[in-house]
Chain A
Amino acid sequence: MQAMGKEVTIVMVEDDEGHARLIEKNVRRAGVNNEIVPFTSGNLALDYILGEDRSGLVSAHRYLLILLDLNLPDMSGIDILEKVKSNPHTKRLPIVILTTTDDEREIQRCYDLGANVYITKPVEYESFANAIRQLGLFFSVMQIP
């Protein structure tokens, strides 16, 4: 996965290390070999994406794809989505919501805020692995600005 000839970095915001490991395994199995930067809390992820001053300047010339869980211990994933999508430097970064929540209104809200893809984590592992693998295919055809 490349953008403008550069490797895209996948930012994975996921507090559950088990989930993070399973996602990584399945992303790799889908043949995606991009660097994955994992974060287990919202604040650390925001520090990386928007910088510690939250200005977003650090990401001005970075090519990132964000995998975001909504149920984080320190803040709601929706807050992160809102902050990233409202920052002029980061609003074009694709964000994939990957979470256990399947509430209709929550999904609607995420799309309203500018989420690119919303995936509910299935409990059934086959479905889970499938979803991630399809996401891998999606990554491989995706154009990142």
Chain B
Amino acid sequence: MLYGRFVLDGDFPDVLRLAACGEAAAFARLWRDTHPPLLRYLWVSVGDAAEDVAADVWLDVARRIGSFHGGEQEFRGWLFTMARRKMIDRHRYEARRPVSPTANGELFERPAPDDTVAAALEYISTETALALIATLPRDQAEIVVLRVVVGLDASAVAQIVGKSAGAVRVAAHRGLRTLRERVADATVTSPGRGGVTL
């Protein structure tokens, strides 16, 4: 199952209505469909605080789901707009209260781009792919995740990030070009590490 496709599709209106009425099974289905891309988007943006921020987002969804009207794509746009606001609040909070690094904190630091690329080329897991994307500038990484992982088109992403569709398209292209260069460099500079079998 690849994200970026709206898996609920025709069932979405009924699932949304039942979830708003408090049907646990319907909400669980909605959550399984949306939570993984939400978590990945937040992980690229806020790192290890993604779980906490995602929980706040779902609480907001619970409070406002009765007033939402729209299809599956509109629901994702609505949810990720709330997620982006939470993410911005988190950044402000961290800016006001910087965390002093500890000895164990080094374990959670993101690896350098070269190391990430090498790991991605060897294992190509979801985590390493997201770690590679997270090495991009923040706005580019955010847009790439919203387009590729969440599956939104340029206009929907533009509404979420508050830019024009053209600016979103340009940022996504720059991000992909940077990723491609890093992958190529890693393939050339570390041929002995196996690389990727295409």
A pairs with B: no
